[in-house]
Amino acid sequence: MTKIVILTGAGISAESGLGTFRDIDGLWSRYDLDEVATPEGFARNPALVHEFYNARRRNAAEAIPNAAHAALARLEAARPGEVLIITQNIDDLHERAGSRNVLHMHGQLTRACCAACGHGWSAPAELHADTPCPACAAQATRPDIVWFGEFPYHMEEIWAAIRAAELFVAIGTSGSVYPAAAFVQDARRAGAHTLELNLEPSQTVSDFTEARHGRASAIVPAWVA
């Protein structure tokens, strides 16, 4: 029975060298969100979008899980069946650190899907729009990523877990993207204790019962210990 629900964002992977979105030199300061993280942008220029995600897939493959990812994997091992990680991140650093119960609500760099038939499959290092779909052979391949305006994955499972949670922890997220940014309110309504662990106060820090600020690689192991 899940008792501890943990929401992670780009900040937990920052010390593994993967860019965040809204920090000073973040991804959205270098790329136009509308061009690379919306279905309309993909329809306009699939090659640009694939280039954006191929670069992030290469970076993620070279990145190493940090002490924060490792601490969450230790927590799950110590509390079998009680810990769920809901990540907004599309990297696989939680899994590579040893976490097993992970839901990628915004999709995964390691997956591709077919815009024609919806079939999903493990992505090779490089994806291109004309990569043929293994199921229907259409050349309409897209990264298996949830873009702005698309419905996040696993929402029913996420809301059920939050309703049953005793503790909700948000790590490394600015609280600027919905519906993830509202999970803390859902958790409080369910009676859970809520804790923010972030480099600095997020946009939703006032929704949390408790907040600790600092680098994830320091404050997450200290919290798990």
Q: Which residues are annotated as a binding site for substrate?
A: 53, 56
Binding residues for ligand BV8, total number by CB under 6 A: 37
Buried b (16+ CB within 10 A) or exposed e, 143-168: bbbbbeeeebeeeeebeebbeebebb
* Residue that has been written with the tokens 């702005």 in this structure: 148
For residue 160, give every residue at least 6 positions away whose Cβ sits within 8 Å of its Cβ, in sequence order, or none.
Answer: none
Residue 200 makes contact with ligand BV8 by CB under 6 A: yes
Buried b (16+ CB within 10 A) or exposed e, 50-88: bebbbebbebbeebebbbbbbbbbebbeeeeebbbbbbb
Position closest to ligand BV8 via CB: 11
Whether 193 is catalytic? no
The span from the CA of 72 to the CA of 99, in Å, is 7
Q: Is residue 105 within 8 Å of residue 87, measured between CB atoms?
A: yes
Instruction: Find the shortest distance in angstroms from Cβ 46 to ligand BV8.
Output: 15
The H-or-E segment that residue 51 falls in is helix 46-62
Instruction: Find the shortest distance in angstroms from Cβ 81 to ligand BV8.
Output: 26
Residue 173 makes contact with ligand BV8 by CB under 6 A: yes
Q: Using CB under 6 A, which of the segments 43-51, 95-103, 168-176, 187-195 binds ligand BV8? A: 168-176
In this chain, which of 2, 16, 18, 21 binds ligand BV8, going by CB under 6 A? 21
Instruction: Find the shortest distance in angstroms from Cβ 156 to ligand BV8.
Output: 10
Instruction: Find the shortest distance in angstroms from Cβ 42 to ligand BV8.
Output: 11
Could you say which residues in the range 102-161 bind ligand BV8, by CB under 6 A? 106, 145-152, 155
Q: Using CB under 6 A, which of the segments 39-47, 86-94, 112-120, 133-141 binds ligand BV8? A: 86-94
Q: Is residue 70 within 8 Å of residue 85, measured between CB atoms?
A: no
Which of 50, 69, 104, 106 is an active site residue? 106
In this chain, which of 132, 176, 189, 222 binds ligand BV8, going by CB under 6 A? 176
The span from the CA of 206 to the CA of 158, in Å, is 22
Q: Which residues are catalytic?
A: 106
